[in-house]
Amino acid sequence: MQNIKHLILYIILALFAVSCVNTDNNVKYEPQPIDTLYTEEAAMAIFDHNPERALLILDSAVIVGNLDEGLAKMLRAKVLSRSTADLHFEEALHICEALMESDFVDNPTNRENVLDLLITITRRRGDNEQWVRWSTEKVELCRQQGDETEALRTEAEIGFILAQLGEEERGLAKLNGVIGALDEQRHFNEMDACIIALKRKINVLDIIDRTENIIPLAQRIIEKIDDYRQHRDEYADGSFRMPPSDEHFNSYCNFYTAQAYGFLAKAYAEMEQYDTARYYMSLFEDSDFGKTFSGRMMASRTWCILGDYDKMLAIYDLADARLGNDTMNLDFSSMLYNRAIAAEATGDYQAATSYWRRYTEIKHILDRKQQEGQAFHYAARYKLQEERMNTEREQAKAKHNQSLAWAGFILVLLSICFIIRLLIQRRAIDRKNRVLTEQIMEAMKYKKKESQNIKIQTPKSKPDIDTLDDEQLFDYLSDVIRSEELFLNPNFSRQVLMDRFHLTDRRVGAAFAHADSCSSLPDFIRDLRLEYACQLFTDNPDMSISDVAAASGFSNLTVFGRDFKRKYEVTPTYFRSQMAAKK
């Protein structure tokens, strides 16, 4: 009986559960991007510091339908390309090469992005063969799209590769052409590309031991960054490369400035100017970049040259831990070379011998791989393309010169018209100035008579100042200032009147506020001094302008010239010349 009750209860519960289930098969749920963290933005926000998590997010974004599979593959390669060489470079390279054979790169933007990744991967691996191949292809694509700046940016990479392949002069010529085309342009995209080219040229000069030529290039990087800091708005060109925030802006400027300090430190160390080298090393180490692993690796060779082997070896121990078994590369061979130098300098000749032997073996293998590669084939292909483009440039140049000739002829005609118009305007201005000068002279004659009358009409008795209203007080004080020529004292001020006539500051200000020709005591004194200067020019046109300014009570010649021009609309020099001509 008890079992029957339990069975009935289970049946009722089951029926209730079924009744609650939505059996409408026509209602489907479509996943939305906002329903999940699995998006491109989420992955790209963390891929620098947490690549494993970023890769999981990208895979999940494809599964839930938030991300196209082709784009997800490219982003996956981007994440992998930022990892250390021994972990993910091969996988990233395989993904990019597969994408280059797919429909994904039919879109020029996608193709350029994949080429950028291939260039980055092959550059970091030191694979010159593939590096020049993908760089050449990108130059062709950029020129097809009309993006000359990006083409020049990539040509800087090719110039560096050519130098590494033994064609140093040709590589430097390529870099010089890129720098010359970009250096004077005040746009962020062009400035950024120029800095890259300057860095590549520094790398080439370092390879061929032209150390003294590195210093002006590194200083030029600092100058360009300083100018960008001071005129940030003028560089804004809408480029996607522009720092999107103040934080990124500061990070960008500090990064390239720090790298320039590193270049300068190494160059001065190699030139045996050790104090200067250590100064720049201190600036480099104080920078954020100098504290990173990449920054410390950049500084390691400089520490070796300066003899600070402990610092260098500490950096290399950290690098060894990161590289693991991936020792068949230029970075590891360079570390062996410097370890051998350090061991010899400290007297550990057995260790030095071991390092030299390992360095020689690895360098031999790397050199042979480079010789056996197809890099020279791609370099030759680029040279042929370059020659074809030079022919096209010469033809375009001929047409351009013809256009310039016509433009020059038109410019000459316009210049002649402009000069004629300028002469006509100049004559009109001269006529106007002569009229103004005559008016000033007439006014001076009137002022001179008025001044003489004031001197003759000396008051019989001093009035009771306390009984004068503001207007009467102004008349009295202005008469005293004119008759006694108090305004000629450069140190004359309101305090002089306050002390002499026992007036308050407010009373003096109120009196001169009632003047018809001025609104304050300084304006009144300035006008008297300028009138006196005009009289001096009239009576003594041989006096220098500085002497007239000083005699009129002006302590500053610049202020005198500015006030004279503002009041009379002619310069003191012009007025004096007219007075001299009349004499």
Q: Amino acid identity of 160?
A: F
Specify the pLDDT at position 374: 47
Q: Number of C-alpha atoms within 13 angstroms, CB side, residue 370? A: 20
**Measured between alpha carbons, how far is residue 318 from residues 323, 324, 341, 362 in Å?**
9, 10, 19, 20
Q: Contact, 235 vs 186, CB < 8 A? A: yes
Specify the pLDDT at position 458: 47
Q: Taking Cα atoms as reference points, which of 223, 245, 225, 246 lies closest to residue 235? A: 225
User: Which sign, positive or negative, has the C-alpha torsion 395, 400, 402, 403?
Assistant: positive
Q: Taking Cα atoms as reference points, which of 239, 274, 285, 259 lies closest to residue 198? A: 259
Find the length of the chain.
583
Distance CA 558, CA 552 (A): 14
Specify the pLDDT at position 215: 94
- Given a cut of 50, the residues of the chain with pLDDT beneath it are 1-2, 7, 10, 13, 16-35, 85-86, 374-377, 380-381, 384, 458-460
Distance CA 456, CA 450 (A): 10
What the block records as the tokens of 14 is 């089951």
For the chain, how big is the Rg over CA atoms in Å? 41
Q: Taking Cα atoms as reference points, which of 204, 215, 210, 132 lies closest to residue 168? A: 204
Specify the 3-state DSSP secondary structure of 231. coil
Specify the pLDDT at position 452: 57
Q: Taking Cα atoms as reference points, which of 567, 530, 525, 574 lies closest to residue 551? A: 530
Specify the pLDDT at position 443: 62
* Domains along the chain with CATH numbers: 435-456+464-582 (1.10.10.60)
Written as one string, the DSSP assignment of 440-493 is HHHHHHHHHHHHHHHHHS--SS---GGG--HHHHHHHHHHHHHHHTGGGSTT--
